[in-house]
Every structure is written in structure tokens, then in C-alpha cells.
Amino acid sequence: MRRVAIMVAIVALSAIVASGVIAASRSSDEAALEPTRGAPDRNIERKVDALLRKMTLEEKLQQIQLLSDGQVTDDDARKGVGGVFSLVDPQRINELQHIAVEQSRLHIPILFAYDTIHGYRTIFPIPLGTASSFDPDVAFKDAEIGARESATVGLKQIYSPMVDVSHEPRWGRIAEGGGEDPYLGSAMAAARVKGAQGRDYSASNKVVTSPKHLAAYGQPEGGRDYNTTDMSEQRLRNLYLPPFKAAIDAGADTSMCSFNAINGVPGCANRHIESEILKKEWGFDGFIESDYTAVAELRACPPQRPAEGSCGHGVAADGPDAAALALNAGTDSEMVSTNIRDFGRELLGQRRISMQRIDDAVRRILRVKFRAGLFEHPYVDVAKAQNEASFLTPADRAAARRGAARSMVLLKNAGGTLPLDPKKKTAVIGPLGDSGHDMLGPWWGRGRDEDAVTVFDGVAAQSPGATFAEGCDLPNTEPAAYDPAQDCPSISGIDAAIAGADQIVLALGEPREMSGEAASRSVLDLPGKQEDLIAAAKASGKPFVVVLFNGRPLALEDVAPQSPAILEAWFGGVEAGNAVADVVFGKVNPGGKLPVSFPQRLGQVPIYYNHEPTGRPCDATQKYNSRYRDLPTCAPLYEFGYGLSYTSFEVSNLQLSSSRVSRHGSVRASVDVRNTGSREGDEVVQLYIHDPVASISQPVRRLRGFERVTLKPGEKRTVTFTLDASDFGFYDNTGRFVVEPGRIDVYAGNSSSATLTKPLTVTG
Ligand code: BGC
């Protein structure tokens, strides 16, 4: 049960003023979500020093090396390779670990890593979906189960959470993160770190996390993956870095530098971000691994680019140059490419890198290995790892089902179309209606298609006699073979299903291969002729709902007017079908909200709620202002924070504990929320601020608090938030966090277009 009065507490003011990062919204897992980072352990530091004194240069360079499952050999283990990723066979993990621990000169264990992004075997919704829950407990649970399953096979690091704030729906990787808002993204990031690491990641069911991709990878020009980004310091710090800081404050001990260039400087050669901000300013004492071949990619490509070999950025002439740049910038570990290992000795001789820096990188890697308890417990229990009962337990499935249902967002429900009556005859129609494969989304880990409950399975379990017709095919092709003309080229075979049904569930969207890495799209519409399925359902005159499965905001300008009800289900994971049925038939009343704006059409992109104003604010009825001539509105189709319920709510009575606050003080904002409908439901109360006069033009709204509450019909609750300098202040272009005196407008409501407002004066 939720508390009657809810206090969204903000962590200690001093820490926040220094960082500008907020605490996660408090939730029922409050205690478990407390920060875990403490002072360095003297004992560990002594052990690291002792090892470092014994290590040869070769052994140090081996520690810096991180190899993939396809690359690593017994010999690498014998020589003391630092890390291995994507290897998940517990027997082979143990084999290599035995070689490292027993046959390498200094017996240093290997750190095994994996991309457990939204589950290892128990696949949860994609992180963009989880963010829609506005419930950090869902992210916490996902990470907790993912960590336990990963650790069971011998992994001790996960390349997660992916915390890239993004305003780019064309970018396929928007699916992996928490959406467009740094505050919500920070809450989800912190919850994921705490879920995966617990208080002590040496525990046998815990792993160390690696927030990625440092930094601003979520804003590639044109939405094309890996593309460059040009970013002011204030934007970088106000919009893109906060979730990283939240993850680090929550205890994350590793991080991954990004592929993309920021202001011309690639992530893994970016001293400003890696060394000055992360390590110095934030006091991060763990290590940074490069992304996949990202060090080699610093090199210029030769005129005739070889088929094999990574290159492109052109900030390094050759391998040695790339190695020196990356290491000197602050990259501590090189993934897949081997430049630091290969050229370290030569570079040291030429004084292009220092022994001090090599030692620092190795010290960080060893520190994490000691903290992870790898020296005490290097091996995995193979019998347990091979026991099916260790994975996807009934409790894990139940958590995934709950998480998926809480992640769904009801976008439209004209005339109370939903919930449908399960006793009536239901037809499931659409290319995603019986696909387990797609439900798992773009980072399925070790999830299996056959584990996933399809929409048809879920619907049929609750509505006996349900039927299914695919209507058309959305092939699961990888990019090289992809031909858009094959996506649902025409519809057929649905007439009988429609004729025999009282109501229709349309399962539409994108195949999972359209999301994730290297999966940018240049259109945001439903692929192929899927809209013809909507037209056919509409022509039948029967009630129907469009259930959407996708990894990005879609442009639904043509879909929305044709559809009485739209449910955004994202890729819901292993229990997607059951969760869809729970919501569609009303066992669960949807309460998710959009963590990202849905444009009317592609041309509006990037469109996001926390944009800065202009000197000509958009007014669709006038000419000389910031608008599109061919669009009669300034708004997205569905805004950030938006989502409906089967009941109705009223948010009212915004009160501030004081109308003035000193820049060192804090003020409480309280607001009432009442369930004005006739069934129990969830509402997400949201608090925004706007600073109307500042030295740097401030976003028109900034989310600074949220709480998801469950209310019975007629029930009212008062939700209280605390605002302080971390909320009123912002980073300027010199990288300073400033709190300026003056008026702040506080807004409360149930979406980013909240209108309830009260002014507040921040005094000097
Ligand atoms: C991705 C990372 C991932 C890494 C290792 C890269 O291609 O960008 O997110 O962690 O591969 O699998």
C-alpha cells in the first residue's frame, strides 16, 4: 500500500548543489534505493598497491585489454587479460577463470561482462517502456532479476544502465534509455544501479553496473546511429549528464565511453568528460571501458578503406596515436581493438603516455575486481548455472508481467472503448499478434522467443475462443537484407476473424530489428500497409483497440483519428501478451505516462517538452513566429508525461509552504489528487518548474518531481514535493552550477502541459 501523504524527498542539499543531480523519487523500495558509495576501502587499496608493484608493463597492458567471446583464447587468460564480454557459457567462463587464477603469474581473475539491458533471461519491457511506468521500482526489479540471472552464469559486470537522454525518435537506441527527460532518466538510472548492485556488488547475486554511453550519444545528428553531436556545455550538463551522475552517485563503479564525437571530440578521447567531469569533478574512482572498437575508430581511414578494420573519426593518425589519445583522455580499458596493449610499450618509450597513467588505469580496474569479490570467489557454480530452475522463476515472470502492465500508456480511449469484455468473442489481428520474438525487444539477452507470451496467447487465456489472423507479415530481417517494401506489403486473410468477432485487438508496430543499435529510421510511421488493418477494423463497426509495439515514438497523425482506442505497449518482454490482456480486459487499469513526446509527423522532430523558448514563441495562428507553415498546431500529438486511465482524476490545490525561499533553503509544494471516476486507478502527479528570467534562456518546463499513486474511486491524496537549489539552479556555459534570484513558476498536473501554477521567489 502507498502512503497517504507522500513526500518526494530530495537528497542532501550540499551534494546536489555540487552536482545538479536529483534523487530518485522515493518508492516502496526506499531503503534498498539508498546510495551505496562510500569512502575507498583502505584494505582494498593496499592490495591493489601490492599487486601493482609486482606487475610488469606487459601484465598491466593485459589488464587494460577487454576481449569479446569470439576473440579470447586460453593464452589471453594465461597472460592476464583484464576482461571478457559476451561470453555466457558458465563452463567456458570457469575454464578461462581457472587459467587466469591458476596459471597467470599474478593470479588476477578476469571480469566477465554482458549486455543485460532489460533482462538476462527474464526479459522486462524495453527501458523506454519501463520509464513510462514512472515507477522506479519497475526498473529496480528488472535490474535486480537481471543481475541475479547474469551472476548465476558467472558474469560480474553488466553494460547497463543505458542512460542516454534522447530527443531523437529516429535513433533506434532511444528504446534502450529512459526518454527525453534528465530528471526521470536519473530516477530510473539510480534505481537500476541499486537493483543490480545492491549495497555491495560482491554478493553472489549482484554485479557491477556500467552507465553508458558517456556522453551525449543520444543526440546524433539526423538521428543516425554513431553520428556526431555538437553540444553546448550547458546543454551537456543540464540535459545529458544528470542520469550519469545519478548512476555514479548510486554506486556505479564502471562506465562506458561513447562512439560519437561531441564538439569534434569522440567520447573515448574526451578528456573533458572522462577525466575532468567524471573522474575529477564527480570523484569517480572506478574504470571506464571503451565501447566496441571505439579506440580504433579514433583513427583516420586510409583512402581505400579496408573491408576490415575500424577507423573514421580522424583524430588519430594510426593505432599508437589512438591508444595515446584514449588513455590520456581517461579511457582505462579498451574493448575489442588492442591498440593500448599493442603499442603501450612503444608509447611509453616515446613518453607519449606515462607509467603513472597506466598505473591509474590498472588501479581502477583492480579496485573494481576487489570490490566485486572476484579474488575471493572467482568461479561460478556450473551446476546451478545449468539448472533451468535458476532462471525465469514464477516470481520473476510475475514481476515481468507487473512491470510490463505498469509500463503501458493509454493514448486514446474514445467512448470508453476499453476495457473490452473478455466474455465476448475477441479477434487478435496484426503482424505482431502472435510473435514472441518481437515482444523481447532489441536487447533480449539470453531471452528465448519461445519463453515469451504472445498477445494472442495472453488474450486467449483471458478471452476463451479468441481467434488470430496475421493480416500481413513484418519480416525480422537484419539491416543488410532489409527491404522496406517487404514490410506488410498488403493485407489479407482477416475477413473471417473480423466477421466472427465481437471486438478486435490490433497488434501493430515495428519488428524488434527496427530498434536498438544500428537501427535508425528515416520515417516514423507504422511500417508498410498496417494502417489498412485499422481501416478494415473500423469498417467492421466493431469496437477495436490498436495495441502498439515499438521502440521509439511513432508519428501517429493518421492512425489516431481512425482508432477509437490506442494502447502503447512498447516491447513488453517475456510476459508482454499476458500484460496486454491484463490491461485490455481491465484486470489492470493503465497508469503509465509517456517519457518522450510523440510527434504529429516526422518533420517536427526533434520535438520535446523541455525545449527552450524562442523570441517568437510558436503560435499557429500567426505568421512571424517559430512554427511550421504546413502544420496547424505547435504541439506534439501526445506530450511528455501524457497518459490516460480507465478512471478520471482531478489534480488541484497547488500550495507552496512559502512564497519566498532563500537560495540555500527549500520549499514544499503540495498538490491534491482525487480519483473522480468509478474505478480504482493510478495517476502520476507531476511537478514542473520554469524560470522565466535567467542569464541563460531556460526550458519552458522542467520536471522536478513525480509520484505514481493508486486511488480508489472518490479517494483523495495530498502529494508533497520538496524544491531546493538543485531545482532552481542550472549549469551555465562555463560549467558552473548557478542559482539566480528571481521568480520561479511552479506547475503541477498530470502531464507536461499542466496548467495549475504558483509563483515562487528565490531570494539572494
Ligand atoms: C554497443 C554497447 C555494448 C557493446 C558490447 C556496442 O556495440 O554500443 O552498448 O555494450 O557493443 O556489446
> Helix crossing, 319-329 with 355-371: angle to 10°?
60
**Which atom belonging to ligand 1 lies closest to the Cα atom of 212?**
9
Q: Catalytic one among 76, 291, 457, 487? A: 291
For ligand 1, atom 10, which residue shows the shortest CA distance?
Answer: 159
379 Cα: distance to centroid of ligand 1 (angstroms):
25
Place of cell 532563500: 662
283 Cα: distance to centroid of ligand 1 (angstroms):
25
The answer to whether 713 touches 647, Cβ cutoff 8 Å, is: yes
**Which atom belonging to ligand 1 lies closest to the Cα atom of 256?**
10
Strand (E) or helix (H) holding 505 = strand 503-509
Banded pLDDT at 309 (limits 50, 70, 90): confident
Average pLDDT over residues 428-452: 98
285 Cα: distance to centroid of ligand 1 (angstroms):
22
From 259, 290, 292, give the residue whose CB has the most ligand 1 atoms within 8 Å, as the site to mutate: 292
Strand (E) or helix (H) holding 84 = strand 83-85
Q: What angle do CA 316, 319, 321 make, to 5 degrees?
A: 45
Grid coordinates in use for 63?
A: 589488464
Task: Name the 3-class secondary structure at 468.
Answer: strand
Q: Which amino acid is it at 50?
A: A
Q: Residue 7: pLDDT above 90?
A: no
Average pLDDT over residues 452-462: 98
262 Cα: distance to centroid of ligand 1 (angstroms):
18
CB-based contacts of 30, cutoff 8 Å, min separation 6: none
* Distance in angstroms (rounded) separating the CA atoms of residues 362 and 624: 58
Q: For 387-390, which contacts have Cβ atoms below 8 Å and span 24 or more sequence positions?
A: 390/149, 390/152
Distances, alpha carbon 487 to alpha carbons 440, 497, 525, 535, 556, in Å: 19, 22, 12, 17, 18
CB-based contacts of 184, cutoff 8 Å, min separation 6: 131, 134, 178, 595, 703, 706
465 torsion bin: left (phi>0), alpha (psi -120 to 50), beta (else): left
3-state SS track over 618-658 = CCCCCCCCCCCCCCCCCCCCECCCCCECCCCEEEEEEEECC
267 Cα: distance to centroid of ligand 1 (angstroms):
14
* Distance in angstroms (rounded) separating the CA atoms of residues 563 and 177: 28
For ligand 1, atom 2, which residue shows the shortest CA distance?
Answer: 291
Q: What angle do CA 9, 15, 17 make, to 5 degrees?
A: 90
Average pLDDT, the chain: 94
Q: Residue 19: pLDDT above 50?
A: no
Grid coordinates in use for 197?
A: 548492485
Determine whether 135 is an active site residue.
no
Task: Name the 3-class secondary structure at 708.
Answer: strand
pLDDT digits (tens, 9 = 90+) for 325-359: 999 999 999 999 999 999 999 999 999 999 999 99
Q: Residue 240: pLDDT above 60?
A: yes
291 Cα: distance to centroid of ligand 1 (angstroms):
6
Grid coordinates in use for 587?
A: 484486470
**Which atom belonging to ligand 1 lies closest to the Cα atom of 86?**
12
CA dihedral sign of residues 241, 33, 380, 387: negative
Grid coordinates in use for 164?
A: 542516454
Q: Residue 34: pLDDT above 70?
A: no
**Which atom belonging to ligand 1 lies closest to the Cα atom of 213?**
9
CA dihedral sign of residues 548, 554, 557, 558: negative
261 Cα: distance to centroid of ligand 1 (angstroms):
16
Q: Residue 600: pLDDT above 70?
A: yes
The pLDDT value given to residue 478: 81
Banded pLDDT at 305 (limits 50, 70, 90): low
pLDDT digits (tens, 9 = 90+) for 483-517: 999 999 999 999 999 999 999 999 999 999 999 99
From 118, 254, 517, 520, give the residue whose CB has the most ligand 1 atoms within 8 Å, as the site to mutate: 517
* Distance in angstroms (rounded) separating the CA atoms of residues 599 and 596: 10
The pLDDT value given to residue 5: 31
* Distance in angstroms (rounded) separating the CA atoms of residues 491 and 246: 47
* Distance in angstroms (rounded) separating the CA atoms of residues 665 and 143: 35
116 Cα: distance to centroid of ligand 1 (angstroms):
11
* Distance in angstroms (rounded) separating the CA atoms of residues 446 and 308: 28
517 Cα: distance to centroid of ligand 1 (angstroms):
8
Task: Name the 3-class secondary structure at 394.
Answer: helix
| DSSP 8-state assignment for residue 313 | S
Average pLDDT over residues 584-605: 98
Q: Which of 26-40, 157-171, 265-279, 446-460 has the lowest mean pLDDT?
A: 26-40
The answer to whether 48 touches 66, Cβ cutoff 8 Å, is: no
Q: Residue 721: pLDDT above 60?
A: yes
Banded pLDDT at 2 (limits 50, 70, 90): very low
pLDDT digits (tens, 9 = 90+) for 643-692: 999 999 999 999 999 999 999 999 999 999 999 999 999 999 999 999 99
The answer to whether 403 touches 142, Cβ cutoff 8 Å, is: yes
For ligand 1, atom 6, which residue shows the shortest CA distance?
Answer: 292
Percentage of the chain exceeding pLDDT 90: 93
Q: How many Cβ atoms are within 10 Å of 223's Cβ, its own excluded?
A: 24
For ligand 1, atom 12, which residue shows the shortest CA distance?
Answer: 115
**Which atom belonging to ligand 1 lies closest to the Cα atom of 258?**
8
- Could you tell me which residues are beta bridge partners of residue 721? 8, 669
The answer to whether 88 touches 156, Cβ cutoff 8 Å, is: no
Peptide bond into 405 cis (omega under 30): no
Q: Residue 4: pLDDT above 50?
A: no
The pLDDT value given to residue 26: 37
635 Cα: distance to centroid of ligand 1 (angstroms):
35
* Distance in angstroms (rounded) separating the CA atoms of residues 383 and 59: 32
From 66, 86, 159, give the residue whose CB has the most ligand 1 atoms within 8 Å, as the site to mutate: 159
* Distance in angstroms (rounded) separating the CA atoms of residues 198 and 252: 10
* Distance in angstroms (rounded) separating the CA atoms of residues 191 and 202: 18
Grid coordinates in use for 718?
A: 495530498
Q: Residue 742: pLDDT above 50?
A: yes
* Distance in angstroms (rounded) separating the CA atoms of residues 422 and 537: 18
Instruction: Report the side by side order of strands in the sheet with 83-85.
Output: 208-209, 157-158, 111-114, 83-85, 65-68, 334-335
The pLDDT value given to residue 746: 98
From 86, 115, 150, 446, give the residue whose CB has the most ligand 1 atoms within 8 Å, as the site to mutate: 115
pLDDT digits (tens, 9 = 90+) for 608-641: 999 999 999 999 999 999 999 999 999 999 999 9
Closest CA to 74 of 89, 64, 61, 84: 84
Q: For 658-662, which contacts have Cβ atoms below 8 Å and span 24 or more sequence positions?
A: 659/758, 659/759, 659/760, 659/761, 660/760, 660/761, 660/762, 660/763, 661/723, 661/724, 661/728, 661/760, 661/761, 661/762, 661/763, 662/762, 662/763, 662/764
Place of cell 473500423: 538
Pocket of ligand 1 from Cβ distances under 6 Å = 85-86, 115, 159, 212, 291-292, 517
**Which atom belonging to ligand 1 lies closest to the Cα atom of 162?**
9
Grid coordinates in use for 496?
A: 473471417
The pLDDT value given to residue 38: 60
Q: What secondary structure does DSSP assign to 108-143, as a single string?
A: PPPEEEE--SS-SSS----HHHHHHTT-HHHHHHHH
The pLDDT value given to residue 700: 97
State pTM to two decimals: 0.95
**Which atom belonging to ligand 1 lies closest to the Cα atom of 176?**
9
Banded pLDDT at 304 (limits 50, 70, 90): confident
334 Cα: distance to centroid of ligand 1 (angstroms):
12
298 Cα: distance to centroid of ligand 1 (angstroms):
16
Instruction: Report the side by side order of strands in the sheet with 409-413.
Output: 409-413, 565-568, 544-549, 503-509, 426-429, 467-469
44 Cα: distance to centroid of ligand 1 (angstroms):
30
* Distance in angstroms (rounded) separating the CA atoms of residues 213 and 175: 14
Banded pLDDT at 40 (limits 50, 70, 90): confident
CB-based contacts of 42, cutoff 8 Å, min separation 6: none
Q: What angle do CA 179, 482, 296 make, to 5 degrees?
A: 65
* Distance in angstroms (rounded) separating the CA atoms of residues 375 and 95: 16
Q: Which of 13-27, 85-99, 180-194 has the lowest mean pLDDT?
A: 13-27
The pLDDT value given to residue 27: 38
Place of cell 487478435: 428
For ligand 1, atom 11, which residue shows the shortest CA distance?
Answer: 292
The pLDDT value given to residue 308: 59
